[in-house]
Structure 1
Amino acid sequence: MLVGSFLNVVILRVPARLHWQWARDSRELLELPATEEPEPPGIVLKRSHCPKCGNQLAAWENVPVFSYLLLRGKCRACKTPISIQYPLVEALTGALFAAVVWRFGVSYEALAGLLFTGILVAAAGIDWRTTLLPDDLTLPLLWLGLLLSSVTLFVSPTQAIWGAAVGYLSLWSVYWAFKLLTGKEGMGFGDFKLLAALGAWCGLGSLLSIILLSSLAGAVIGSAALLLQGRDRATPIPFGPYLAVAGWIQFMWGGDVFDLVGKLIFAR
């Protein structure tokens, strides 16, 4: 849950820093004068504070989940409601980390699995909030999966390399086919990179299962979310969170989950 608290910081601060950097780089490229816009808070050095009143949090206000309950979901200083995202991400990360250690025991596989899980939580959270999948998360996840395949921690180098290549090219092909047919962009390039990273960790044979499960989850959950929010079907739906969920399930249990689903569907 402590890691989940840090991931909340990543989810909230990384997009703001990206937008600030893009604006700064664009001004330099176009030779426009610099603005006085302050640099957003860093990921590590800046202490946690209330985004409304700026009150810096005391140590007891930073205890995952429990502080939210003690404060009754409101800032101690200005009484502004605290987003439910904070305890949800903390509790989710704690539960997922516990599942990884239960699955792999105390091992190098578990350590790698914790890194894999933490990056997926951060990437999914950012994409859910902003429809962005930062290269700062997807590319290290991809390279880490490829490097771990060199010692065949989860899959062989052949499986990892082909999984990454086919994972990227499959969604890249769908993107361009959809754009040529409709003139619209159906997904972002970050989705290609995330599926490539999942292919590197889980292998070539996992891609079909990941795509099918993520598409099913996206269709059901995404449509329900649009309905509850009163939005039309033209509203962009982030695909990264569903890829992350499907990839994590595939990483943890592989074909066992899909074998079970198949037996339930085709059981007589």
Structure 2
Amino acid sequence: MSPTVTYNLFAFIYGAVIGSFLNVCICRLPENRSVVSPPSSCPHCGYRIRWYDNIPLVSYALLGGKCRSCRVSISFRYPLVELVTALLTLMLFIRFGPTLTFLALFILCAALVVITFIDIDHQIIPDVISLPGIVIGFAFSFFLPWLGWKDSLIGVLAGGGSLLVVAYGYQMLTGKEGMGGGDVKLLAMMGAFLGWRSILFIVFAASLVGSIIGVGLMLVRGRDSKLPIPFGPFLALGSILYIFYGSRIIDWYLGLSRLGG
């Protein structure tokens, strides 16, 4: 096995292990419970999960997606989070290698995975992730030449400020709250890690995908559907698209604009 394949395999396994921990965060943070103790257990029968039943991806497959003790089905979300985190880690490692950029963006992506699933389940974005994330992203900017602390600081202000203006504007026009403060802090965190240039792309991509899915749900469930659609997952998707494909998409769009002009 070549060194490149070995390193990539290690990155995938490492991501899956971190994904297992992120599952704990997703379950416990909304309930203000410690993510360190007590050890993981079955939510149905309380069976304490042994290490051999907690191997990322593998244990779920070997157990047939069921608890060893009570045989109640385990949510497919657990291996899904592990797989998504493993793939993101692998993609980041292939793209950036063992660099400080990889570490910074790995932390951002891990935070986005947790935020996405918590927002889907509870329609909240925990401050315990986004607020420290702003500080961590800004701290990294002093050591990342492609970012810089000024770009990061403007990203925080532009990210949080832009959504804050939209939220207040929507509320004044409709009298309803259309966007929570969690989304504002989330975009500020993204701006801290990715800089102010990322904000317009992230908001546009999130709005486009969110609109498509929202219209699709209305068609399926009917016009009177009042199902809340959290915006956090779409912002997270927009951020990940920017990391991996942002420059290509922007260049493609600018190329079309020149042709059209």
State the TM-score, normalizing by the size of structure 1: 0.84
Residue identity matched to 1:4: G
**SS state at 1:260 partner:** helix
Letter in structure 1 aligned against 2:116:
A
Matches within 5 A, 1:52-67: 52-67=44-59
Within a 5 Å distance, the mapping from 1:1-268 to structure 2 comes to 1-17=16-32, 40=33, 42-225=34-217, 232-260=224-252, 263=255
- Give the deviation of 1:104 after TM superposition: 0.6
Q: Are the equivalent residues in 1 in contact too, given 2:105–2:193 (CA < 8 A)?
A: no
Residues 1:158 and 1:16: Cα distance change in structure 2 (over 3 Å): same
Q: Give the conservation status (yes or no) of the 8 Å contact 1:164–1:204.
A: yes
Identity percentage over the alignment? 39
Distance 1:267 1:102 in 2: 33
Provide the C-alpha distance between the structure 2 equivalents of 1:261 and 1:88, rounded to a whole number of angstroms. 32
Give the alignment's TM-score, normalised by structure 2: 0.87
How far apart are 1:166 and its partner, in Å? Answer: 1.3
Q: 1:67 to 1:228 in 2, by over 3 A?
A: farther
Residues in 1 aligned to 2:96 and 2:221: alpha-carbon distance in whole angstroms: 39
Question: How far apart are 1:267 and its partner, in Å?
Answer: 7.2
Q: Give CA deviations for 1:186-230 in whole Å, capped at 9, x if unaligned.
A: 011010001111112221122111100011111223444566677
Unaligned runs of 5+ in 1: 18-39
Q: Given that residues 104 and 193 in structure 2 are in contact (C-alpha distance below 8 angstroms), is that contact kept between their aligned partners in structure 1?
A: no
Can you list the C-alpha shifts for 1:132-170, whole angstroms capped at 9, x where unaligned?
Answer: 101110011111111122234441222111111011111
Change (3 A) 1:81 1:223: farther
CA distance in 2, matches of 1:69, 1:261: 43
Measured in 1, the distance between the counterparts of 2:54 and 2:220 equals 32
Tell me the amino acid that sits aligned with residue 122 of structure 1.
Answer: V
Q: Deviations over 1:39-75 (max 9, x none)?
A: x5x2112111110111111211101111111111111
Inter-partner Cα distance in structure 2 for 1:141 and 1:231 = 37
Q: CA deviation at 1:179?
A: 0.9
Q: Does the aligned pair in 2 maintain the 1:48–1:56 contact within 8 Å?
A: yes
| 2:117 maps to amino acid | G
Equivalent-residue separation in structure 1 for 2:199 and 2:89 (angstroms): 23
